[in-house]
Amino acid sequence: MNRKKIRQILMLLTCIAVMAGVAIRRNGKLLGHDLKATTEASDTKTAAVKDTMQVLSDGTIVINTLPLGKDITGFAGQVPLNIYLKNGVIDKVEAQPNHETPDFFEQASALLTKWNGKKTDEALALKVDGVSGATFSSRAIIGNMRAGLQYASQKAVMPTIFEKMDLSIKTIAGLLVVLLAAILPWFFKNKNYRTLQLILNVVVLGLWCGTFLSYSVFVNYMANGIDVWTSFIPIVMLITAFIYPLFGKKNYYCTYICPCGSMQDLAGKAKVKKWKMGAKTVKRLTFFRKALWTVLMLLMLAGVGFEWMDYEIFSAFIITSASTVVLLLACLFFILSVFVPRPYCRFICPTGTLFKVAQDSK
């Protein structure tokens, strides 16, 4: 193995270590292990049950799904709930603090009243669909409700593999598109197909599935681990972003898969006069991107400034839940892309910069 390859592997490991540090600072967890939890002998099984279930003075039973849903995560981590049961009937469901993007979670919170007024068995049998535009948060709410209700009725049953898997048409379509993008460019290069793939990336992966790599995704996975059964598409994306470069395919995810990069490439196909940028200007803007990334990473490692992750423009693809600021930023860079090749990717994108650092490229 040559020095260049060794250096590349070391840079990848360094980035993983740094992201692990960020996850610990933000969530206090690493790969599902709560590093803030006490290990005193008094933390017995009985104590855990008391934490999971409380009885209020009026007889209301409160089920806390935090310890029950350790493997159930939304877009940015766990989404624990408090389920209030009065005389065997669900009185209300409240969300506990979480790290979900506020705009997404506000949409998904519409689900919290779906189980009100139902008995435990009725609620368990109830089929609730997720909120379009807030798929990850919706899935986490539904999963936590199931875990809490099973605990309350003492009918906790391990779900089958097929129950764990997301086999919706949307997910299957997204998986096909990302696999095409991950495989075909290795063997087949054609301008017309390239355009078709860009369109599929934007429409299917971006607008329909709302699946992309971002800092929120990285921190969530580092803090809580990856649920393989519901993360087929992101796993393929992660392989192309971090493993492919080890085999000489640098910038593969950004070039062939990223919905945001694909959108900019499509905008750049407009037949208008392009802006000419001098070498010094490009160099300064590239330096700005690197400096911005460095500052953001230092802030997060210091335990502050995590909110910026909610403003990466990728979330603009989830139009119904994206904030106005993110939508405006996305529109701005889309318009700029008509005149300047991939302006967000080249001069701003913190996620893309992480990929470059991990693969030891400029």
Q: What is the pLDDT along the chain (362 residues), one digit of tens a residue?
A: 688 888 999 999 999 999 999 999 988 888 878 776 544 444 444 444 447 888 888 888 888 888 887 778 787 778 889 999 888 888 899 888 887 877 778 888 888 888 999 888 888 888 888 777 677 788 888 888 888 888 888 755 555 666 667 778 989 999 999 999 999 999 888 999 999 999 999 999 999 999 999 998 999 899 888 888 888 999 999 999 999 999 999 999 999 999 999 999 999 999 999 999 999 999 999 999 999 999 999 999 998 888 899 889 998 998 877 888 999 999 999 999 999 999 999 999 999 999 999 998 77
- Looking at residue 38, the DSSP 8-state letter turns out to be -
pTM over 0.85: no
Q: Give residue limits of the domains in the chain.
A: 53-156, 163-359
Cα(73)–Cα(12) distance, integer angstroms: 25
Q: Please give the distance of CA 81 from its chain centroid, rounded to a whole number.
A: 20
- Domain formed by 53-156, architecture: Alpha-Beta Complex (3.90)
Secondary structure E strands in the chain: 29-30, 33-34, 53-55, 61-64, 81-86, 89-95
**What DSSP assignment string belongs to 121-157?**
HHHHH---PPPTT-HHHHHHHHHHHHHHHHHHHT---
Residue whose C-alpha is closest to residue 258's, from 334, 337, 331, 352: 352
